[in-house]
Chains A and B, each alone.
Chain A
Amino acid sequence: MAEFRHLHAAHCESGVTAALLRHQGLELSEPMVFGLGSGLFFFFPPLVKVMGMPLISFRSYPGNIFKLVCKRLGVEYERSTFRSAERGKRELDELLARDTPVGLQTNMFWLSYFPSEFRSQFNGHNLIALAEETDGYRLSDPMLEEFVHLDAEALERARFAKGVLAPRGALYYPTSVPSNPDLAKAIKVAVSGGAKRMLDPVPIIGVHGIRRLARGVRSWKSKERRKQKLLLGHIIRMQEEVGSGGAGFRFMYAAFLQEAGERLDFKPWLEASERMTEAGDCWRSKFARACAHIIKDRGEDTLDDVADALVECADKETALFRFLLANAPSKSVHSLATDTAAASR
């Protein structure tokens, strides 16, 4: 088996999936994987609280990107969870002994190779285990630039942490990849599927969820200033930290649309890519910056400005996803070539 190449990625799960598939000979860029896995998402349910803060998610359920990409490309895979940590460790060790890189779902708090400022009780972090080595494991964590080492006890704590989204030792790896997958078809399905999901009429997901968050922000005026600031900081952290959510996801999706448009020679996706970049800039420069100003008592921004920025982001994305659904390529559009040049960018 070829030597495993580390992939430094913008999002853990798309990075892990791209690296695992590449190791099996299927070269896809991280944005391509992110797009094929419909990684762009928004979820803001009422009442649900995590550590006293409302649940706001910019990402889909952990494991979803990997599963969707495999399904859409016809990749076969194994995925298991374990009741007993002992069995989970044995299974991992057996796979590694056979030189199989394994994707793992983990809790970030116990990953001691991260700066302490990034360690939090978040159960949806994905990474790749490569080999057992003295006192632990050699890992490829897509958030970092290099391979890392983690001791066995810490990895076990991370894999078997409890609570919301508990990983239950989840491990996954592709078992066989098709030699010539129908990428054009998979992209078409992914683009329309992703757009439909973001336009879903259920008011707590997609663009409607974003509008609901805007209304929520306006309603926080009655709260004390300190609480307002904590809530705004919380949204930014969900957006930027927990897997580089909001703006970062928009830029990655724009990169996906650009690559898809070029591969299939389909102009409307190139236009959609530019518009998605604008949406990302709106999240970044207008929304997140206004939040930071309020937290730091700089400038004149108010909660209404924050909510207006959210509505603007939602408006841009609503128009963009409708545009994508209205401009789907005809059945006759095929992938120009299954070359892998774009993947190495």
Chain B
Amino acid sequence: MREEDVPQEKSFYQGHRRACYAVGKDEQYVLAKSAGWEVERVATEQALLELEEQVEDARLKAEAGAVSPLAYHFATRQMTPKMAAQHAGLSTWRVKRHLKPAVFARLSKELKSLYSRVLDVPVEELERVPSTPRHVFLSDEAEANHG
């Protein structure tokens, strides 16, 4: 890649620039800065939309009472029940049980504050999900920029 070809395209960098190496004058490699590359943006956007879909899916299921709000908060932290279990020091089996609304409703204060710490979500928010869809990873600003 030549220095003049270093992509300066739309991205999610929000004003940041990434360092990369490119061939400059006299065929010498130089450190160049890229504002973004369309190909990378396409892959990032695809992954983020997928994650947002999982979050919304969990939110709807929690609202409908099919799963506990914990499932939603795991999704917003990009955590599987297994990962959440590793962070909390609980067995995956137990964490999966806590995804049942009935079991979650009876959860002890201690376990709730444990989840609150692991997920970085205040206890009172842990017990509910937002009433309307909203993006967690894809900032609206970024979306507006890229249509």
Query: Do A and B form a real pair?
Result: yes
- Chain A residues close to B by CB (< 8 Å): 8-10, 15, 30-31, 51, 109-110, 115-121, 142-145, 157, 161-163, 166, 229-230, 233-234, 236-237, 240-241, 244, 247-248, 251-252, 254-255, 258-259, 273, 277, 280-281, 284, 288-289, 291-292, 295-296, 345
Task: State the interface size on chain B (CB cutoff 8 A).
Answer: 41
Q: Given known contacts A157-B120, A240-B40, what 11 new A-B pairs fall within 8 Å (CB)?
A: A115-B13, A115-B16, A162-B86, A230-B50, A233-B43, A236-B42, A241-B40, A258-B28, A258-B29, A292-B39, A345-B30
- Chain B residues close to A by CB (< 8 Å): 1, 12-14, 16-23, 28-31, 33, 37-40, 42-44, 46-48, 50, 77-80, 83, 86-87, 120, 136-139, 142
Residues of B within 8 A of A110 (CB): 120
For the complex of A and B, list the 4 residue pairs with the smallest distance between their C-beta atoms, beginning with the closest. Answer: A255-B29, A117-B12, A162-B86, A236-B43
Cα–Cα distance between A166 and B82 once the two chains are bound (Å): 14
Cα–Cα distance between A273 and B23 once the two chains are bound (Å): 11
Residues of B within 8 A of A248 (CB): 20-21
Cα–Cα distance between A345 and B40 once the two chains are bound (Å): 27
Cα–Cα distance between A292 and B40 once the two chains are bound (Å): 8
Cα–Cα distance between A268 and B30 once the two chains are bound (Å): 20
Cα–Cα distance between A280 and B20 once the two chains are bound (Å): 12
Cα–Cα distance between A237 and B86 once the two chains are bound (Å): 25
Report whether A10 and B20 are in contact in the complex, using a CB–CB cutoff of 8 Å.
yes
Q: Which chain B residue has the least Cβ–Cβ distance from A122?
A: B78
Given A115-B139, A117-B142, A251 and B22 contact (CB-CB distance below 8 Å): yes
Q: Which of A10, A237, A259, A345 contacts B47 (CB 8 A)?
A: A237
Q: Closest CB of chain A to B26's CB: distance in Å?
A: 11
Q: Closest CB of chain A to B22's CB: distance in Å?
A: 6
24 A-B interface contacts by CB (under 8 A): A10-B19, A10-B21, A15-B19, A30-B31, A115-B16, A119-B137, A142-B19, A161-B87, A166-B86, A233-B46, A234-B43, A236-B39, A237-B44, A240-B37, A251-B21, A254-B21, A281-B1, A284-B39, A292-B38, A292-B39, A292-B43, A345-B28, A345-B30, A345-B31
